[in-house]
Amino acid sequence: MHQPTVCKNLKYKYILPQMMKSPPSGKRNMKRMLRNIGIFSTNVIRIGFFFKDRHYLDKEWGHFFSEAEEKVVLEVGCGAGNTIFPLAATYPALFIHACDFSPRAVDLVKAHKDFNESKMNAFACDITNDDLVNHVPPSSVDIVTMIFVLSAVSPEKMHLVLQNIKKILKPNAYVLFRDYATGDLAQERLTCKDQKISENFFVRGDGTRAFYFSEEYLKNLFQENGFSTEECGVCCKQVENRSREIVMNRRWLQAAFRLNNDNLELSKVVKEPEDGFVVDISEGFAFDMFGISSSRDEIMELKLQDWNFKIKLLSKEFQHTCKSTGLMLWESARLMASVLASNQTIVSGKKVLELGSGCGGICSMIASKTARLVVPTDGDEKALELLNENVTSNLDESLLSKLHVRQLNWGNKEHIESVKKLSDKGFDVIVGTDVTYVAEAIIPLFQTAKELISSSQGDEEGLKPAFILCHIFRRVDEESILSAASCFGFELVDKWPNNTIPENPYRGTINSWFEGRIKEDDIENPALNIMYFHAK
């Protein structure tokens, strides 16, 4: 028996034996090859070729691709290019951007015999985290295709994907969407295995995630992010195993969304697929079948001022599928860590609390150099596990003695009391980086900060206890943050970079942190903001 190898990309992990240096021709040869590596139930799913090119974009959405016009297309989750190359052959006037979170998949695209650099741009990108405008000019794309991509993303991060895509879309541009629908066979199997994380969201046997969309959920998701629905329908396919007399239902949603504010009437269509339909085998299905696993942690090396960190994180390959946002290192944490490294007076001699530190904890570790006490916290157990590993491996004993990791779910009285025991008079400085992206969490965030911030009126230099937030405005705008802050007695006294608040003794404080210390080139994302609060 030949040992299988794995080809990974955003949407699929296909199993190919070493003998397949050239694919077998014909369905019978494919079945024979599968039997050789122990796969016998090929009647259950019409497998076809693993790298079968997709030609249905022209059949299903041909009216969006006009031969008379030169259009720009982005495929999110391009895999090995089985969509973009048939599309390019049918519409040679197109310019196609193609991205995938797996560099190996992008390498396959670039190595394809039909890859043309003058007509194609392929790049690796995690669309939940990496800014698309770094690879695609803003407001330049006519059509985005998302084929069995969004289901692999945690629901909490789906809006990040759509907001990222909006940056590169022209007005009235389209997103063409196909993905798993509720009631699909795979969902029923996962339900039976008790692998449910939340509504319609499941974890497969290999740890990857799968979301199953209802029409209502999908339409609302796009509408909330500035799209109108042009068409949307459920597609159904029954797959029959005649020997076992079993009929299996495969269901997916097919839709087109337009970037504007028009309220277009939803066109509901139930389509019967054309002959020769091939069911895609998702990465989780292949893992369940073959029992293959891979390492999900990686080490990131980071240099900030005199600090050299080696941070253990969830591998970027898996970050977009993970429900927790604390298993990666956010750019806001890097900026705030740079600020603290260059301005130790912010924390020197003080008691410091970090809310939502995630697994990195770099702000807390830098603060530990001169602070009297540092408490990094997070609510996620896996993030805390990695956080403990990271602080232990990066700090010497003298600094570790001042740093205490604690679990803290905002609003949880038991967790708050546990943290209070470390500093019964509260904390002089509270830091939060990218902790404002979920609207439902803003009230508990400020409530928790209010209970844990020191009630002191200031230190010897007149500096009052401060709550510092560093973030990018996403789903929660500044007005909502300020409203919640006011409810719990916090006053915004300074902000950066656009300072429009009234004159006060602390205005300009944040600018002083940057003067002669941090260059603009060191700031990864110009959309980053810092807000500086005092407790009234």
More confident residue, 305 or 474: 305
Which has the minimum average pLDDT: 7-16, 98-107, 309-318? 7-16
Task: Give the residue from 228, 259, 290 where a domain finishes.
Answer: 290
Task: Compute the average pLDDT of residues 292-306.
Answer: 72
What's the CA gap between 353 and 28, in Å, rounded? 64
Judged against a pLDDT cut of 70, whether residue 17 lies above it is answered with: no
Confidence of residue 322 (pLDDT cuts 50, 70, 90): low
Name the range with the highest mean pLDDT among 102-106, 413-417, 459-463: 413-417
Structure confidence at residue 274 (pLDDT) = 43
Residue range 158-182, pLDDT digits in tens: 999 999 999 999 998 999 999 998 8
Cβ-count burial of 51 within 10 angstroms (0-12 exposed, 13-18 middle, 19+ buried)? middle
Are 250 and 304 in the same domain?
no
Together in a domain, 350 and 452: yes
Mean pLDDT of the chain: 79
- Reported for 125-128, long-range contacts at CB under 8 A and 24+ positions apart, including other chains, are 125/99, 125/100, 125/101, 126/101, 126/316, 126/319, 126/320, 127/76, 127/99, 127/101, 127/160, 127/161, 127/164, 127/165, 127/320, 128/153, 128/157, 128/160, 128/161, 128/164, 128/319, 128/320
Shared domain for 257 and 166, answered yes or no, is yes
What are 438's two structure tokens? Answer: 């979920």
pLDDT at 24 over 70: no
Beta strands in 89-183 (DSSP E): 95-100, 120-124, 141-147, 169-180
pLDDT of residue 143: 94
User: Which pLDDT score, from 0 to 100, does residue 456 have?
Assistant: 83
Q: Is the Cα dihedral 38, 39, 41, 42 positive or negative? A: negative
pLDDT at 360 over 90: yes
- The rounded percent of the chain whose pLDDT value lies above 70 is 73
pLDDT of 11 over the 90 cut: no
Examine the domain organization and report whether 286 and 301 are in the same domain: no
E strand segments, 320-454: 351-355, 373-378, 406-407, 429-433
CA–CA distances in Å: residue 532 to residues 310, 413, 440, 520:
29, 25, 21, 20
Domain count, the chain: 2
Same domain for 310 and 273: no
Q: Tokens 């079945």 label which residue?
A: 31
DSSP conformational letter for 254: E
How close are the terminal C-alpha atoms of the chain, in Å?
A: 72
> Above 90 in pLDDT, residue 370?
yes
The β-bridge partners of 181 are 213
- Residue 110 has a pLDDT of 94
Sheet arrangement for strand 209-211? 196-198, 201-203, 209-211
Rounded Cα distance, 212 and 221, in Å: 13
Give the helix/strand (H/E) hosting 334: helix 331-342
> In this structure, are 391 and 527 located in the same domain?
yes
Q: What is the pLDDT of residues 402-426, one digit of tens each?
A: 999 999 999 999 999 999 999 999 9
Q: Are residues 419 and 453 in the same domain?
A: yes
Rounded to whole angstroms, the Cα distance separating 69 from 72 reads 10
> Is the torsion defined by CA of 128, 333, 486, 407 positive or negative?
positive
Domain that holds residue 465: 297-535
Per-residue CA distances from 75 to 133, 254, 258, 489 (Å): 14, 15, 16, 47
Q: How far apart are CA 295 and CA 335, in angstroms?
A: 28
Higher pLDDT, 2 or 34: 34
Residues 6+ apart with CB under 8 A from 337: 304, 362, 363, 366
pLDDT band at 294; cut points 50, 70, 90: very low
- At 301, list the tokens: 């090396």
Tokens in use for 317? 């390959």
d(CA 418, CA 357): 17
The C-alpha atoms of residue 209 and residue 198 are separated, in whole angstroms, by 11
* pLDDT given at position 462: 64
Cα-based torsion angle of the residue sequence 389, 393, 395, 399 in order, rounded to the nearest 10 degrees: 50
In tens, the pLDDT along 44-81 reads 233 333 345 565 677 778 888 875 578 999 999 998 88
- Report if residue 28 sits inside a domain: no
- Whether 353 is in a domain gets the answer yes
| Secondary structure of 464-483 in HEC code, one letter for each residue | CCEEEEEEECCCCCHHHHHH
Spell out the alpha helix ranges (H) of 264-321.
283-290, 316-319
Q: Is residue 26 part of a domain?
A: no
CATH number at residue 117: 3.40.50.150
pLDDT value at 496 more than 80:
yes
Q: Does the structure show a pLDDT above 70 at 520?
A: no
Do 73 and 103 belong to one domain? Answer: yes
Kindly state whether residues 373 and 264 are assigned to the same domain: no
Residue 232 domain flag: yes
273 and 129 both lie in a single domain: yes
The number of CA neighbours under 13 Å toward the Cβ of 26 is 3
Residue 269: what pLDDT? 38
Report yes or no on 30 lying in a domain. no
